[in-house]
Structure 1
């Protein structure tokens, strides 16, 4: 395999794994994986272990949905994987927490920005 083909293959793998890791931010997708018993398959559990490298700074910077990394970490625990399959309420709780984060994070950011600018103007 020549260098250009290897680069193309590596890029495709990077994009595929990035897209998959980001899909883990969706609690309903996690529930779907659990309901299909995919989270019980040893090969899939090993794949989730392999994907831990996305938590490293050099890779995490490409993640748009930080909850994906949190869910990836939780998926390392068998009890979490089992709970996703048995308890619909867990999916609802994850979704609600995610919604609350998205609803409020910008307000905190802009409030802080306005406060800083007011202090500069008053000085």
Structure 2
């Protein structure tokens, strides 16, 4: 078996980190990998994406949130908590995190855009 070159490996690792921004992907990981020590080691290895100069390649801040927190057992256990709603088991904690992160991201974007408009306005004066 030949190992991929550094560029290909980086692209694959970046794809994985990017997919952490998708709650359905996190739900899949939760179902099959949260208890796997190799998965946890992989997440710990990928922490380099949170550091300069690599963080600039990650476009979704939610991906970084999950990347940071999935390395912690307590966080993974908290995501595993489920509730029953009308006979259907659903992952309420994952849905809650997704809603809160989406709200944060939307607010962050609005505040950033407003700040940029204000800075542009001040620069023109």
Query: Do the structures match in fold with TM over 0.5?
Result: yes
1:112 & 1:34 partners in 2: Cα distance?
37
C-alpha contact 2:79 2:94 (8 A) present in aligned 1: yes
Q: How many residues align?
A: 116
Q: Mean alpha-carbon deviation: is it higher for 93-102 or for 39-48?
A: 93-102
1:105 to 98, 104, 108: 108
1:46 to 41, 44, 55: 41
Distance 1:10 1:106, change over 3 A: same
User: For the pair shown, which has the larger CA radius of gyration, 1 or 2?
Assistant: 1
1:59 to 39, 47, 54: 54
Aligned residue in 2 for 1:3? none
Normalised by the length of structure 1, the TM-score is 0.80
Aligned-residue Cα RMSD (Å) equals 2.2
Unaligned runs of 5+ residues in structure 1 are 1-5
Structure with more relative contact order (C-alpha pairs < 8 Å, separation 6 or more): 1
Higher relative strand content:
2
C-alpha contact 1:31 1:85 (8 A) present in aligned 2: no
Normalised by the length of structure 2, the TM-score is 0.78
C-alpha contact 2:27 2:94 (8 A) present in aligned 1: yes
1:1-123 superposed matches below 5 A: 9-36=5-32, 38-87=33-82, 88-120=91-123, 123=125
Distance 1:117 1:55, change over 3 A: closer
